[in-house]
Amino acid sequence: MKKFFIIFLLLSQFSFAQDTIKPQILNEIIVTALRGSQNSIDIPANISVISQNQIQNFAVVNSDELLKSIVGINIDRDFGIFSKNSSISMRGLNGSHRTLVLLDGIPLNKTDGGGVNWNRINPDNIEKIEIIKGAASSLYGGNAMSGIINIVSQKPTKKFGGKVKLFYGTYNTFGSNLFLEASNIRDNKGFYCELNGFFRKGNGYIVAPDSTKDSLDAKTYLKEYSSIAKLGYQFNKKSFLEVEYNFSDSKIGDGTKIFENDGGFNQYLTHFLRSTLKTEVFGVKILANGFYQLENYLRQSETIKRQTKKYTLYNTDSKRTDAGIWIAANYFFANNILTFGSDAKYGDVVAEDNYKTSTDILTNKGKMYFYSFFVQDEFLFLEKLRIIAGIRYDLVQFREGKFTIEEPTILTDFMTLYPKNFSDTNWFALSPKFSVNYKIFNDSKIYFSYSKGFRPPILDDMCKNGNISKGFKMANPKLKPENLHNFEIGYLFNIANLTFEQAIYYSLGNDFQYFVGTGDSIYTGGDNLKPILKRQNVGEVEIWGTEIKFLLNFVKNFSFSTNYAFNYSKIKSFTVLQNDKDLTNKFLMEVPKNQVFSSLEWKTKNLNVIFSYNFRDKQFIDDENTQESDIHSTFDFKISTQFQEKFYISLSVQDIFNQRFTDGKGNLSPGRFFISNFIYKFF
Amino acid sequence: MAKKFISTIFLFCMLIFQNCTKESQSNIPPKIEFLKENGFLSQDSAIPMGEKIKIGIISQKNDENITFFNVSLENDSLKTLLDSGMNSEKFVYHCNFIKTNAKSDKLIFFVMDKNRNKSTISLSLTKTEVSKFGKIKNFVSKNIGGQKNSQFGSFFSLNEGKLFTQNEASQQQNLIDIIYYFDIFEATLSSPNESDVASVFNDLTNWVTKNETRYHVTNLTEKQFDEAKNDSLLIVSFDQTLAKRKAKYVSQGQIFAFRNHSGEIGLIKIISVEKLNTGKILIDIKVQE
């Protein structure tokens, strides 16, 4: 940390001694904030955009790793490319279900678990990523508690175009990507299409450190395939219809192999269908999105208890559907922009745990329906001051929740005591917003914002009983949403070659969900009694923090950017129900207090070199605050060059100094990871 | 250019669809049979209560490996005697069974493969009029020390009727059946194969032979315990489905039933407990010879 600040100061000194050049102005068209296009300088929020240029330049292998460069975003991807998934959180909140992630405006957070399968998003297929911090449920509804990440995919632009990418890296990781595009758009009218195929494989590594490694540990291998077909028709400058189908198959070993050839693994098979219609009718801009996602999660778990030598093999087959229609409209009149619309979403799960080393089959099912409407007005006063007020109503229904056990043995027989059919429940959420944005100059602003965010309970907590590490988890169909009220002030200044931005926020959350003991305990097959736990809305949290961004183009071809985030997230009060541990005044787990990201980039016409540094402070890894993870800091590097317009090669190194860290379970990160890319553009 | 483009698209589609094959699943179940060797019972029989019989099972996979083997006993109710996960082409299993007091005992042996194909065989044992009870060994007023007790060892052998310290027990691992320790608030009867015992007696981490004894508390009175002269009370008192690798919260006056790794059933009477890790437990033991 100290070293970092010395480097920072030296670079700052150096910068002012050089000839100045024009700064990069953070003023872009954002499609997320208004559910329609808007200039970032007019939006009363802390906004970041990762451009296609940055996507190409950063040393990343997964799309979520791009977010490392964004102030205050915490990425939990402990095994790098070999992680079964990634969790993205921000603004002092933990868990991927408290941040809304969109792909071309379609929500990716699953109703069953709340998280997002980042592995299915190919970074080569992204045009840009927009990140808007702060609660945004007044326009987007559930999960938009800490902010929104909207991934915008590439659109075909060439008459005929294509490129092929080959890559090879550490742990014998290799793969390729084929991208084909065609477009006959003339005078803003015509068809366009895109095909994209992607695969990657890797041998992986043993995540167990040498001190605990034994013959049961195996490498966490990787096999991923993905294909995208996109077809669109542009009617005119303002209207288009686009349909996209995406299939992906991601299989990653979990690091154990006992008898089965493929050992323990996690596999996600995803079918995703999207249609987007953008048009303008009587001066009203309309954006309508329809989507259907079917994720088939397959898991094979193969374990042997080291003490008792008891062998267990079981498969999970979970089918999770998310589908919906989201419609938003913008109407511009006088000095107002009126945004209104309605969203309908459906989510369900049918999951089966099929034991092979006993006869038990456990099934859980449940459905959720979301209906909402929203309205927001943005009033422009004297061309400088914008006042925004909006509200959204969400009605949510939980239906047909069920948990069944077939042919129970001693392993699951105790579960038959607990409810099998869950009662239907309804709840609603009202999410207001009020904010003021004052544009000081064309590229500077100051703002204040109040907004509310909520996240719905997940189906997995509402209709699934089962063993967890802390005890035995009972489903709770009566769970209510978590709510968060966010107050924020911020500013953005662009002066000469310097950009400086800061946001200060204070958030109060209520009805936060924690596991609470029911007072009972039960034998779940072992020798010890385990407590029976249920998720309950029992916590109130208090968060305050700040985010600072600094960008400097200090000499021709050089740019330096750095950002710092501070979070102080505590449980303000905790309702103790049954002699449970009182978590009042405990810090929120998995939230680092301090985070820093810096990058130094040198860019010429054909060569690009970037160094980046990422610092993540200690964080508690349990609610009781008994265990803390280590400080995590890494240096990454990438060099890339383009020649003869058709060829591109690059070499990336993640974690240059091989600072391997361990996760909460004592497993190791991959350490230094090289990856070399070769791209050939044809047609 | 357009031709090239279309050819590339065609090639692309071929690559995508080439891996779309569906795996077929077999439905032929694994084989399971009784061992028909000398000394093993392989057909329905009539035997007296308390008689010990030996049963052998051999099972062979068909298309997929065998992953589950279960033994259950059906008399007045259905009880699971063994649930065993595995991943094997074949296995051989031997067990001893002592005829219960029930009119008829049906032993059911069940195997399942990875595709959930199942096979079952069973053996019925009816009770003859004449009962045959076994002899028992008595160990009277045995002090077993807590983990920090310097006077009494914490390791007991039912075979030898002898107490061992941790160092002595490590040299004769195969003899140890019962371990006693005091864990914060809990006086605990345990055995070498119990999951938490190695955190109390660290040497156990390196033991090669870890015998398992399973216990459960009974409703028997001290008088009933004292009056037991053969193994009839021991047999009817032990319930496999209730038995755990340790018995916690052990206190004065309780009677515990147990079965050791050799299949011998017994009872333990708790005479007194000194609730300290330097303390001790005073017990009487009755176990099948």
Q: Which of B80, B85, B244 has the CB atom closest to A310's CB atom?
A: B85
Tell me the C-alpha distance between A48 and A414, whole Å. Answer: 50
Position A22 scores a pLDDT of 37
Tell me the C-alpha distance between B30 and B142, whole Å. Answer: 49
Contact A359 B15 (CB under 8 A): no
Contact B116 A527 (CB under 8 A): no
Residue indicated by tokens 């019925």: B124
Assess B126–A contact: CB distance below 8 Å, yes or no.
Answer: no
**What's the mean pLDDT in A501-524?**
91
What distance, in Å, lies between the first and last C-alpha atoms of chain A?
48
Average pLDDT score, chain B: 88
Residues B72-85 as b or e (16 or more Cβ within 10 Å = b)? bbebeeeebeebbb
Tell me the C-alpha distance between A344 and A340, whole Å. Answer: 14
Q: Which of B83, B196, B198 has the CB atom closest to A409's CB atom?
A: B83
What distance, in Å, lies between the first and last C-alpha atoms of chain B?
91
Domain residue extents for chain A? 19-682
Residue B87, SS3 per DSSP: strand
Encode pLDDT of B227-254 as tens digits.
999 888 998 898 877 888 889 889 999 9
Position A9 scores a pLDDT of 38
Q: Report angle CA B191, B194, B197 to the nearest 5 degrees.
A: 85
Give how far A316 is from chain B: nearest CA, Å. 14
Q: Which of A195, A308, A311 has the CB atom closest to B9's CB atom?
A: A195
**What's the mean pLDDT in A456-480?**
92
ipTM here: 0.77
CATH 3.40.640.10 fits B31-127, yes or no: no
Architecture of domain A19-682: Beta Barrel (2.40)
Give how far B267 is from chain A: nearest CA, Å. 19
Is residue A562 within a helix (H) or strand (E), and if so which, with residue range? strand A558-574
Give the CA diameter of chain B: 100
Position B48 scores a pLDDT of 86
- Write out chain A residues lying below 8 Å of B87, CB-based: 258-260, 311, 313, 357
Domain residue extents for chain B? 31-127, 136-288
| Structural tokens at position A128 | 């840009």
Residues A405-425 as b or e (16 or more Cβ within 10 Å = b)? beebbbbbebbeeeeeebeeb
The answer to which of A4-8, A486-490, B269-273 has the lowest mean pLDDT is A4-8
Nearest to A74 by CA among A495, A629, A477, A602: A629
Assess B271–A contact: CB distance below 8 Å, yes or no.
Answer: no
Q: Which of residues 163-192 of B touch A (CB under 8 A)?
A: none
Number of other CB atoms surrounding residue A331 within 10 Å: 16
Nearest to A192 by CA among A152, A153, A154, A233: A233
pLDDT > 70 fraction of chain A, expressed in percent and rounded: 94
Assess B65–A contact: CB distance below 8 Å, yes or no.
Answer: yes
Q: Which of B80, B85, B195 has the CB atom closest to A313's CB atom?
A: B85
Amino acid at A335: N
Assess B137–A contact: CB distance below 8 Å, yes or no.
Answer: no
Position A8 scores a pLDDT of 37
Assess A178–B contact: CB distance below 8 Å, yes or no.
Answer: yes
The helix/strand count (H/E) of chain B reads as 5, 17
Q: Which of A179, A196, A527, A528 to mutate to test the interface with B (most CBs of B within 10 A)?
A: A527
Position A291 scores a pLDDT of 98
Contact A308 B9 (CB under 8 A): no
Assess B70–A contact: CB distance below 8 Å, yes or no.
Answer: yes
| Structural tokens at position A335 | 């000095």
Q: Under a CB-based contact definition with an 8 Å cutoff, are residues A291 and A276 in contact?
A: no
Q: Under a CB-based contact definition with an 8 Å cutoff, are residues B204 and B194 in contact?
A: no
Q: Under a CB-based contact definition with an 8 Å cutoff, are residues A337 and A330 in contact?
A: yes
pLDDT category, B17, cuts 50, 70, 90? Answer: low
pLDDT category, A17, cuts 50, 70, 90? Answer: very low
Strand-strand pairing, B178-183 and A190-202 = unpaired
Strand-strand pairing, B255-259 and B214-217 = antiparallel
Assess A50–B contact: CB distance below 8 Å, yes or no.
Answer: no
| Structural tokens at position A217 | 């540990």
Q: Which of A356, A359, A680, A683 to mutate to test the interface with B (most CBs of B within 10 A)?
A: A356
